[in-house]
Chains A and B, each alone.
Chain A
Amino acid sequence: MSIDAAPGIVAITLVTLATLAIGTWGLKVSRTTSDFFVASRTVNPRLNASAIGGEYLSAASFLGVAGLLLTFGADMLWYPVGWTAGYLVLLVLVAAPLRRSGAYTLPDFAEARLGSSTVRTVCSVMVVLIGWLYLLPQFQGAGLTLASAVGAPTWVGPVIVGLVVLTNVTSGGMRSITFVQAFQYWLKLTALLVPAAVLLIVWAGDGSPRSIATGDGWSVPLASGGGQGLYLTYSLILATFLGTMGLPHVVVRFYTNPDGRAARRTTLVVLVLLGAFYVIPPVYAALGRIYAPDLAEAGRSDVLVLELPRLMLDGPGGDVLTGLVVAGAFAAFLSTSSGLAIAVAGVLSQDLVGRTGAGSRLDGVLSFRLAAVVAVLVPCSVALTGPDVAVAKTVGLAFAVAASTFCPLLLLGIWWRGLTDLGALAGLVVGGVGSGTAATLTLIGPASVVGSGWLSVLCEQPAAWSAPLAVAAMVGVSRATRRRVPAHTTRFLVRLHTPEGVPLDRG
């Protein structure tokens, strides 16, 4: 290992130690099953919003966005815009009712709304699958980052991230994770903002040079290819705007708010925090276009954020900034993986592991710990042994699957009285199979099947057809099975929509 590796090793060690320390401190204040699952609902909006931001800003945001922007230009701006606007859609349609439903997970919501354990089971399976689809690129990205930053073999990253996440999740549960995630949001913001500011000063000191490359479509916010490009862009917009509300680790966070009003305010703060973060990656992309144009050509644009400081600044200054961005990237892997592991473990422990126990308090904590091990081990071992898949692509497909399954379920469940259990099942199956098949074909399908025409375009961004199909199936089948509308529907809508202060029977 060369001397170049020193800042990266120091940064990773510090982040790991800080994460474990905050997690252990959390252990001292979290004692009950409720603490484990939902921090006993005592988290205030600003802390909760920082935690949501910390959890949500994954490696795809910290490293991927700047790299994609460098390679493809302005049409990739739709990723951060969509990831933020998704929270606005969530705020206006879902935030307060979801909190008031009292559901901890999406399967809880489905069962409470429709009174069907079959729908619950289908939802549980989908949560675990979407969670693993999202966890896999986090582990693989950690491997790539450590390889680039300190020259470690690619298996080191997944193992370290897996161990730290497991230690934190199993020791403190949701309460300690809330502090860890909030810390990691501010760490990530600092780690991206400070180097960007310094590098901008360096750029100004160089006489503000401009990129020599022009007229290559870098400033067009559209995928190339005419009609196909327009479809890809709009389908991506739909997937990110609607998919956010269906991500398992996002939904779990809402239960930790004290009431519906706090849920709305938390979401609003999240909007501001995400906006503050996402204005920075374009700075790296623009500077990278001037100082590191060869990274994109070499297909290594994902390491742009990690390598730009040393390319622009020699000596200890570059080393310190490199250490900072490595710390931020590592925090991104840890926080998103922890959030997803908690969400998947919550569903696993309630629906699979928990059913074998007697349901006492100790059993609750024990089964949560067991489930966390399963939730982390499966994607971790796939990352270690399986084929490499593109980080941003996999994350994008997870959004598309969420937009085609849980988004219609939440929207219709919250706003439409006519939803029935069979209708929900039909929509989940149609949307899940449709978008899931497209995702599988895109990730591991043979090129001969997909080709490069409209079929490949439709598979690459399935949300624009699979989400409307799922809604149509839910509405159509619900209409046909009108007699199965649950008897408690009105009572449940009272619970979802009326402010908590009004004394009403909420079932």
Chain B
Amino acid sequence: MSEPPARVRVTGPPRRRTPLRRTADIDAETRLGEVYLGSLLREQLWLALRVLAVLVAMIGMLPLLFHLAPGLAAVEVLGLPVAWLVLGVLVYPFLAVLGMVYVRRAEANERDFADLMDEVDPGTAPR
């Protein structure tokens, strides 16, 4: 009885060169890598600033509004003074919705970045 032959891993010849991934540009801190990272940073910062701008425009303007138009304090909606209705109740769902919109868009930005990193540059792609 002869020894069973040693197992051999059967593989084909490499069909393509390993493509240069875009992540390598970021890792090597090339100028292209800076562009990739910079685009993600800019997207996320812009998104954050837009959300904060909405916050300031809707909530941050209220003290100024009541300062300039003191008559507003006497206005009642649904039997509640308008300041109490807005700052006591409505502001909380508003903040939650704003947060929800932010989370969805921020995750979308990150998915776009991950997709961009997965793509292979046409110049380095195999034929």
The reply to whether A219 and B74 contact each other, CB–CB distance below 8 Å, is yes
A77 in contact with B84 (CB, 8 Å): yes
- Complex Cα distance A38/B106, Å? 26
Contacts of A497 in B (CB 8 A): 37, 40-41, 44
Nearest Cβ on chain A to B112's Cβ, whole angstroms: 10
Cα(A219)–Cα(B82), bound, Å: 8
Q: Is the CB–CB distance between B52 and A220 below 8 Å?
A: no
Which residues of A pack against B, CB within 8 Å?
74, 77-78, 81, 84-85, 87-89, 91-93, 96, 217-222, 229-230, 233-234, 237, 261, 264-265, 267-268, 271-272, 274-276, 278-279, 282, 286, 415, 490-491, 493-494, 497-499, 501-505
B66–A504 CB distance below 8 A? no
Q: Which chain B residues in 13-53 approach chain A with CB under 8 Å?
A: 23, 26-27, 29, 34, 37, 40-41, 44-45, 47-48, 51-52
Given contacts A219-B74, A219-B84, A230-B64, contact A275 B51 (CB under 8 A): no
Name the distance in Å between A96's Cβ and chain B's nearest Cβ. Answer: 7
Main secondary structure, interface of A, reads: helix
Residues of chain B lying within 8 A (CB to CB) of residue A74 = 73, 81, 83-84, 87
Q: A92-B51, A230-B64 are in contact. Are A81 and B37 (CB under 8 A)?
A: no
Main secondary structure on B side of the interface with A: helix
Q: Which residue of A lies closest to B28 (CB)?
A: A505
29 A-B contacts, Cβ less than 8 Å apart?
A74-B87, A84-B92, A84-B95, A85-B95, A88-B95, A89-B55, A92-B52, A93-B52, A218-B81, A219-B73, A219-B83, A221-B62, A221-B83, A237-B60, A261-B110, A268-B100, A268-B103, A271-B95, A275-B92, A275-B95, A278-B92, A490-B37, A491-B29, A497-B44, A498-B37, A498-B40, A498-B110, A504-B26, A504-B27
| Interface residues of B, Cβ cutoff 8 Å to A | 23, 26-27, 29, 34, 37, 40-41, 44-45, 47-48, 51-52, 55, 59-60, 62-64, 66-67, 70, 73-74, 81-84, 87-89, 91-93, 95-96, 98-100, 102-103, 106-107, 110-111, 113-114, 117
Which B-chain residue is minimally distant from A223 (CB atoms)? B63
Q: Across the interface, name the chain B residue whose C-beta is closest to A218.
A: B81
In the assembled complex, which residues on chain A have CB atoms less than 8 Å from the CB atom of B51? 88, 92
Query: Considering the chains assembled together, what is the distance between the CA atoms of A217 and B83 in angstroms?
Result: 11
Q: Tell me the bound Cα distance from A207 to B107 in angstroms.
A: 51
B44 touches A217 (CB 8 A): no
Partner pick for B113 among A77, A265, A499, CB 8 A cutoff: A499
Q: Which residues of B contact A267 (CB under 8 A)?
A: 99
A275 in contact with B96 (CB, 8 Å): yes
Q: How far is the CB of A254 from chain B (nearest CB, A)?
A: 15
A77 touches B83 (CB 8 A): yes
Which residues of chain A are near B34, meaning CB under 8 Å? 490
- In the complex, A88→B54 CA distance in Å? 12
Pick the contact of A504: B23, B45, B87, B98 (CB < 8 A): B23
Q: In whole Å, how far is B55's beta carbon from the nearest beta carbon of chain A?
A: 7
Q: Give A298 to B117 CA distance when docked, in angstroms.
A: 66
Q: Which 7 A-B pairs have the closest CB atoms?
A: A275-B92, A219-B81, A92-B48, A77-B87, A499-B110, A282-B88, A505-B27
